[in-house]
Homo-oligomer: A and B are copies of this chain.
Amino acid sequence: MSGEDAPAQQQNAEEQKQQQQETKTPAESPKTESKPDPPPTSASTEAAAAAAADTPAPAAEKAPEEDTFSYRALVLTGYGGYDKVKLQVKKGKPALKSGEVMVRVKVCGLNFADLMARQGLYDRLPSPPVTPGMECSGIIEAVGEDVTDRKVGDKVLVLNRSGLWQEVVVVATTHTFLMPEGMSFEEAAALPVNYITAYMMLFDFGHLRPNQSVLVHMAAGGVGIAATQLCKTVNDVTVFGTASASKHEVISQGGVTHPIDYRTRDYVEEIRKISPKGLDIVLDPLGGSDTHKGYNLLKPMGKLISYGAANMLAGQKKNLFAVAKTWYQQFSVHTLSLIQGNRSVCGFHLGYLDSESELIAQAMAVIMDLYKQGKIKPRIDSTYHLEQVGDAMRRMQERHNIGKIILTTEPMKEEEKKEEAKKDEEKKKDDKKKDDKKKDDKKKDEAKKDEAKKEEKKKEETKKDDKKAEEKKEEVKKEEN
């Protein structure tokens, strides 16, 4: 289905570097850019397309090209930390079946499922060694038999179950979508997973209408920002968004009506203060105890839409305690409870929807229209080279991003590489320190919260005492009268 089926070679870091320098990407391949109109496809890609399209070419000419055809690919070599995703070189031109296209990839999108997959917590990714990646953008370099709706040179975004974090991918045309005029490759790679997820949750399961209220967790994340923008396409929708305080300004500008710092506040209390009756829609990427909270926040006819278990992710490697706790606290509901509350509980994950081409095409058509109308626009947080995928994943997992993190296939410059190597060493040393500090911070946070609670209790008690004293005074007065 995709390039990952081509023979992948596992190499040690040294071999890998060497090969990269030897092979790199062909000089003619177009450079990554965000301009609306890229240069026309180069001669070399045209030739490749012709070869792939089964035009009668002399065998002598074909053989050398297939031998020399190689491309860089990220490969998950086993479950674990950031270093389990390695940059490797795949050799040999992937075969094109009927109805498939070959895409020269420019930019790839990073998703939460990729983080789960690295830890072995996402069953839609085949077993390692495997190339991850659910979305990318690029240019069609060759088309298979019976492909009439795509041609060489078309700029497309691609959505697939996996296998898109590499320079060349082969997918069915139904998994590609033409990029509209004016869309950059960065935006195109940032769009499919987050916006289809947000769109189908809000409008199919959620049936969002004017004057309703929505809770968006991780409002500064990819889905969070997409959901906020989509909420704003409907009149007078109130968006409650959780994010750490430093991100509030950005998400407010993006459309969040009430940003809530979940680190220092109880978001349930904050929401009840503003909207005592509760909410119409809760989007829940967290799982565990947060799903229970979300359910209890629903108004009559409210919908809880669960689309992940981010609470399972705690740290770089699989945290069995976090996984077990999230699993143990997993929400389950009886129909009788749903009936008495007039509520709906939905589950969504695009990864399990990959065979539903028609549904996805319909959603994508609406999303593209909204993009053309300027009503939605992916927000890019940061761009990393394929070589830096570990840093990219770290940024996402530590929740530093505001918007989408993307990977560019443009190779790193030599001087950048050297700097990276130095940084890498430092980072590894830092990792342990950070983990320790995090634990400390958490303890401090909890201590602070406890203190605050105690403080409040004291105040209440003082108030009560005051009240009692007052009442006594009044009683005395009455008796005096």
A-to-B contact residues, CB < 8 Å? 200, 203-205, 207, 284, 287, 291, 300-301, 303, 306-309, 330-349, 352-353, 355-356, 359
Contacts and interface: CB of A to CB of B under 8 A. Distances in A.
A352 B343 CA distance: 11
A338 B345 contact: yes
5 contacts: A301-B356, A332-B333, A339-B352, A340-B352, A342-B353
Given A332-B335, A334-B332, A335-B332, A352 B347 contact: no
Nearest to A337: B347
A347 to B, nearest CB: 3
Contacts of A207: 203-205, 207
Contacts of A330: 334-336
Given A204-B207, A301-B204, A334-B331, A347 B353 contact: no
A107 B335 CA distance: 33
A307 B200 contact: no
Contacts of A306: 335, 338-339
Assembly of this chain: how many copies? Answer: 2
Q: Is the interface of A mostly helix, strand, loop or mixed?
A: mixed
A474 B200 CA distance: 55
A303 B200 CA distance: 13
B347 A336 contact: yes
Contacts of A341: 347, 352
Contacts of A352: 300, 339-342
B335 A345 contact: yes
A348 B335 CA distance: 9
- Give the one of A306, A340, A346 with max B CB within 10 A: A346
A338 B307 CA distance: 9
A347 B338 contact: yes
A243 to B, nearest CB: 23
Contacts of A205: 207, 301, 303, 344
A215 to B, nearest CB: 16
A339 B312 CA distance: 15
Contacts of A332: 332-335
B359 A345 contact: no
Given A306-B339, A330-B335, A331-B334, A300 B359 contact: yes
A467 to B, nearest CB: 32
A308 B336 CA distance: 8
Nearest to A306: B335
A54 B220 CA distance: 59
